[in-house]
Structure 1
Amino acid sequence: MNRRRIVAGTAAGALGAAGLAAPALAQAMPEIRWRCASSFPKSLDTIFGAGEHVAKRVLALTDGKFQIRVFGAGELVPALEVANAVTGGTVDCGHTASYYFVGKDPTFTFDATWPFGFNFRQINAWLEHGGGRQILREFFEPMNIVSMPAGNTGAQMGGWFRREIRTPEDLRGLKFRVGGFAGNVLAKLGVVPQQIAGGDIYPALERGTIDAAEWVGPYDDEKLGFNRVAPYYYYPGWWEGGLNLSFYSNKQRYDALPTLYKEALESACRDATIETMAKYDAVNPPALRRLVGAGAQLRPFPRPVMEACYHAANELYAETSAANPLFKRIYDHTKAFREATLPWFRVAENTFDSFNYLMQSQEQQRRG
């Protein structure tokens, strides 16, 4: 008996069976069409593109059976109404930043970012390996929402201002477009916070309806044209050390998905987080150089301003925790995780980065 012939025949039979099984499996899976409402305008290819990336990956992973069509802000529902639309089933899903909905409940901020909170690496660690997603699931359950991380901007800029900010007193009366919980912090210092969707910021700044505005960072800000109407560009965005973007699914429709489709959605959202952060890190540096070259006045927030904001944030955390038990529970959870991680980042990441910055500065000085 020819053993090689038997093995070859067996292998060929297995491959043939596999070839038949794959199309049969694909044919057996249901075709599902979802509509996704984004909170972001289509013109911002990176942040809006994170939702599109999820849709493309899901389509590929399900052999075209699970299709998600992503609509720009305002096409299906207003940008700041995505959570309500997903809860009520007006849309199947949404791509958004949860801090847009702190007016409903300040606890939303922990699914996005919070003042003087995590950077990208830290929030990703908390969500995936620090119990963050588990504790947030309790928050979203009554709202009929399943939330998954699906993108991150990294640390953001502090925004565009018509006049310089030298002291905390310069913030008083300032009409500032700022997203999320940060508006409540800045209100303690006399700022008049304005939550305005991305596509509506420029006309408000141009008309003088607002005095300053923040969005994400150089790449998006250049596209939106803020440098044409406000010369001073401040950093850092202390309220957004790493903005986690979220993919919301209506819970009934999510629960009805086949397991394979749920896994595809999970995988696609994780992939979108890596892709979005990588793209921002690639496109922001040249955009910042272009903005400064075009006349933008780059300014750090003065230390007294940063300290005043830091203390105001801690006061607000204490006040909100006293009034909202779930907020307190999640805040305490994030604070403990942050305190545990900061020493490691200070020892490794910060030392490494600081040395590289120093060496770059010295080399630039030598080159004249």
Structure 2
Amino acid sequence: MERRTFLRGAAVAAAAGAVASPAVAQSMPEVKWRLTSSFPKTLDTIFGTAQTLAKYVSDATDGRFQIQCFAAGELVPALQALDAVTTGAVECAHTPTYFYTGKDPVLVFGTGSPFGLNARMANAWWHFADGAELINASLAKFNAIGFLAGNSGCQMGGFFRKELKDVADLQGLKFRIAGMGGQVLARLGVVPQVIAPGDVYSALERGTIDAAEFVGPYDDEKTGLYRVAKYYYYPGWWEGGAMIHFIANLEKYNELPPAYQAILKQACDAANVWMLAKYDTVNAPALRKLLAAGTELRPFPQAIMEAALKASNELLAEMAAKNPDFKKCLDSVNAYRADQLAWWQVGELSFDSFMARTRGRS
């Protein structure tokens, strides 16, 4: 079934029912929204997700509901997208909610906490547990509502100038990393650095920093960091399945006809599938290119993973002790993860592990 047909069907189902056709026509007004992305156009998968979402909405409404997408910095700086939505400077944004944990630490869970959920678990937690309810309770404080509209999958740990063998190798290491992952690593002796994407290459080349993380092979290959730091570590345990959200001004959203609200939700769901499928498609060949260029792929040593998990659990517990809403969200994620991992170990993990070990036999 074509997405256009499916989405238009959603519009008809939401708006029509037993309503006469003239009333339906009146409920389909011309609407023009502006969307600010937290990403540059060069990240064509993440920025492209917002463009894809906008196209779905336009197709489903015969162009009557238009969303114009702007890259980070064209209207609003990358880290101020929520502010712009709150004030109504723009109607909507495509952004990770953990950019705004300074406003409310609960929002870290909208993207993903360290050692949290993988992409499929996060999607299920959002839709079928209480993820959407908890995150939108936080966003409502800022006159906003969010819909899941993308996931990067598990990210990489980044490029390092030197090899890591033990926790001691992290001491004093200057690492370009932001958010809660940086806070965890700081407890292990790392010196987190917040550097704009455009300045990371030069900083790593000059030795101003010792390592840098970005997203995954497809986006990382574009940065060229592999030319100045040959060790490429995995996994990015601070982003096991990073969710991205379409965030709308709550008042503007409530003004939409029910049909447009339904279409918007369906478009977000479709864009969510598109982004993860696109990354799953492009990351594999990008990793091959990186390895062919001399990049040395390394797993984080077990000692570092264990130390990071311990530090992460301590940090999250401390934050939960200070903030009841944060505790409620942490408890929800932890309970859901424990339940899912018990099943994952039986189904997905055992199958994937076997297939990875037997790769190339057929």
Question: TM-score if structure 1 supplies the norm length?
Answer: 0.89
Structure 1 segment 159-198 matched on structure 2, within 5 A: 159-198=158-197
Structure 1 segment 295-334 matched on structure 2, within 5 A: 295-334=294-333
Distance 1:329 1:122 in 2: 18
Cα distance, 1:266–1:204 mapped onto 2, change above 3 Å: farther
Q: Which residue of 2 aligns with 1:105?
A: 104
Cα distance, 1:260–1:209 mapped onto 2, change above 3 Å: farther
Residues 1:273 and 2:290 aligned together: no
Distance 1:200 1:88 in 2: 30
Cα distance, 1:204–1:101 mapped onto 2, change above 3 Å: farther
Q: Which residue of 2 aligns with 1:263?
A: 262
Structure 1 segment 226-241 matched on structure 2, within 5 A: 226-241=225-240
Structure 1 contact 102–181 (Cα < 8 Å) conserved: no
Q: Deviations over 1:229-278 (max 9, x none)?
A: 22110001111110101111011111111111111110111001111111
Distance 1:264 1:199 in 2: 36
Q: Which residue of 2 aligns with 1:38?
A: 37
Give the AA of the match of 2:98: Y
Residues 1:127 and 2:126 aligned together: yes
Q: 1:104 Cα deviation (Å)?
A: 2.7
Cα distance, 1:351–1:192 mapped onto 2, change above 3 Å: same
RMSD across aligned positions (CA): 1.7
Give the AA of the match of 1:269: C
Distance 2:238 2:81 in 1: 22
Q: 1:166 Cα deviation (Å)?
A: 1.4
Q: Which residue of 1 aligns with 2:12?
A: none
**SS of the residue aligned with 1:46?**
helix
Structure 2 contact 33–91 (Cα < 8 Å) conserved: yes
Q: 1:168 Cα deviation (Å)?
A: 1.1
Q: Deviations over 1:274-314 (max 9, x none)?
A: 11111111111110000000011111100001000000000
Q: Which residue of 2 aligns with 1:58?
A: 57
What is the count of residue pairs matched by the alignment? 343
Q: Which residue of 2 aligns with 1:8?
A: none
Task: List 4+ stretches of structure 1 deviating above 6 A.
Answer: 21-24
Distance 2:181 2:122 in 1: 17
Stretch deviating more after TM superposition (281-290 or 182-191)? 182-191
Structure 2 contact 149–271 (Cα < 8 Å) conserved: yes
Cα distance, 1:110–1:303 mapped onto 2, change above 3 Å: same
Structure 2 contact 154–242 (Cα < 8 Å) conserved: yes
Give the AA of the match of 2:46: I
Cα distance, 1:322–1:48 mapped onto 2, change above 3 Å: same
Cα distance, 1:319–1:245 mapped onto 2, change above 3 Å: same
Structure 2 contact 27–257 (Cα < 8 Å) conserved: no
Distance 1:87 1:208 in 2: 39
**SS of the residue aligned with 1:360?**
coil
Q: Which residue of 2 aligns with 1:6?
A: none
Distance 2:61 2:173 in 1: 50
Q: 1:200 Cα deviation (Å)?
A: 4.2
Distance 2:129 2:78 in 1: 30
Structure 1 contact 162–229 (Cα < 8 Å) conserved: yes
Structure 2 contact 88–249 (Cα < 8 Å) conserved: yes
Distance 2:23 2:293 in 1: 58
Q: 1:202 Cα deviation (Å)?
A: 2.9
Distance 1:175 1:105 in 2: 27
Q: Deviations over 1:197-220 (max 9, x none)?
A: 444433433343332111111001
Structure 1 segment 65-76 matched on structure 2, within 5 A: 65-76=64-75
Structure 1 contact 161–211 (Cα < 8 Å) conserved: yes
Q: Which residue of 2 aligns with 1:114?
A: 113
Cα distance, 1:208–1:144 mapped onto 2, change above 3 Å: farther
Structure 1 contact 106–181 (Cα < 8 Å) conserved: no
Distance 1:212 1:78 in 2: 25
Cα distance, 1:197–1:264 mapped onto 2, change above 3 Å: farther
**SS of the residue aligned with 1:181?**
helix
Using the aligned pairs only, state the percent identity: 54
Cα distance, 1:213–1:30 mapped onto 2, change above 3 Å: same
Give the AA of the match of 2:118: N
Distance 2:37 2:199 in 1: 15
Q: 1:106 Cα deviation (Å)?
A: 2.1
Give the AA of the match of 1:272: A
Structure 2 contact 151–272 (Cα < 8 Å) conserved: yes
Distance 2:21 2:255 in 1: 23
| Structure 2 gap segments, 5+ residues each | 1-19
Structure 1 contact 41–198 (Cα < 8 Å) conserved: no
Stretch deviating more after TM superposition (136-145 or 206-215)? 206-215
**SS of the residue aligned with 2:358?**
helix
Cα distance, 1:274–1:23 mapped onto 2, change above 3 Å: farther
Q: Which residue of 2 aligns with 1:139?
A: 138
Stretch deviating more after TM superposition (259-268 or 195-204)? 195-204
Q: Which residue of 2 aligns with 1:201?
A: 200
Give the AA of the match of 2:34: R
Q: Which residue of 1 aligns with 2:221?
A: 222
Q: 1:131 Cα deviation (Å)?
A: 1.7
